[in-house]
């Protein structure tokens, strides 16, 4: 009986830890090349998919009224603060630790990439991989959870 109770307790704790590893929340973006803080991005669920919007620019070099002048879709000339940069990301059916199937916009160059999100470190960090074609052909940033 004691073994069963311990197993049940561990399973419950594992389930609770898994529930906390969702990408939903507020994230501090860290540039993968410069290691500088760039922005705060809020990822939220809407209609069964995750979407992420820039809430605040943290880069001291960024203009507060910067616009996405290099964007080529409906986000062209939209303010970077408030810009929807992650769209239509869903939980991977084959790997419960991954969210993918959507896209991410790099407002610095206006390019849109496929995206894969993977919570790590118990959900305290988020690996954000933008890529073209296959995930091997891309780059990864590690974002830090703010809340």
Provide φ and ψ at 106, rounded to 5°. -95, 105
In order of their start, the domains of the chain are 23-145 (2.40.128.520)
- Residues 125 and 133: their CA atoms lie apart, in Å, by 25
Which region, left, alpha or beta, applies to residue 47 given φ > 0 means left and ψ of -120 to 50 means alpha? left
Model confidence at 36, pLDDT cuts 50, 70, 90, reads very high
pTM for this entry: 0.84
- Spacing of C-alpha 131 from chain mean position: 14
Model confidence at 10, pLDDT cuts 50, 70, 90, reads very low
Of 52, 107, 49, nearest to 79 (Cα)? 107
In this model, does residue 3 exceed pLDDT 70?
A: no
């Amino acid at each position: 009986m004691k073994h069963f109770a311990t197993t049940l307790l561990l399973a419950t704790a594992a389930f609770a830890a898994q529930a906390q590893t969702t990408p939903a929340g507020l994230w501090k973006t860290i540039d993968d090349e410069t290691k500088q803080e760039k922005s705060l991005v809020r990822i939220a669920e809407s209609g069964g998919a995750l979407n992420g919007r820039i809430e605040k620019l943290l880069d001291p070099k960024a203009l507060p009224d910067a616009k996405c002048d290099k964007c080529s879709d409906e986000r062209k000339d939209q303010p970077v603060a408030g810009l929807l940069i992650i769209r239509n990301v869903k939980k991977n059916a084959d790997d419960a630790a991954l969210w993918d199937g959507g896209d991410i916009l790099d407002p610095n160059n206006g390019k849109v990439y496929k995206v894969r999100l993977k919570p790590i470190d118990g959900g305290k960090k988020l690996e954000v991989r933008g890529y073209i074609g296959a995930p091997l052909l891309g780059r990864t940033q590690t974002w830090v959870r703010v809340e």
